[in-house]
Amino acid sequence: RAQERIEALKVAEGQLESLKNLQKNGPPGLFGSVADNPSNTPFCMVPLSGLPRDFSVAPVGTWNINIDSDNFAYPNECIGLGVSQQYNVAIVPPTNPDGGLFKVHVRWFKINGGINEQLTLEYYLNVNN
């Protein structure tokens, strides 16, 4: 169990690093389009490209902040992350176009069964920092 959480933490940290890199070095306006998301549509940072992948491509209502009802229907780029390829990622953006508090949720099925597991990191990031 501890090993799962350590790997989940590494996945979440990698997502945050990609998000920070997008904010500092990404194409003009791309970070703002991720941050300015009034519907709070989740996204993830695609590991190889470092670009965001919006959940609007996923079927409506398949991602839920309540882990008990989460059925892990994420866009393909947001599933199977980490060395063990068992982690699914959803970043919930702020609703302010200048940025704000991003919540990185990393979810997985427990190895020995039982309820789903989740690790969440929160990070404040805005257009100008």
pTM over 0.75: yes
Query: How far, in Å, CA of 129 to CA of 52, rounded?
Result: 19
**pLDDT tens per residue across span 7-39:** 999 999 999 999 888 888 877 666 666 665 556
**pLDDT tens per residue across span 61-90:** 555 666 665 665 688 899 889 998 889 999
Cβ of 103: how many Cβ atoms within 10 Å?
Answer: 16
In DSSP terms, 117 is beta-bridged to: 108
Long-range contacts of 22-29 (CB under 8 A, 24+ apart): 22/50, 22/51, 22/52, 23/99, 23/125, 23/127, 23/129, 26/50, 26/51
**pLDDT tens per residue across span 85-103:** 889 999 888 877 677 888 8
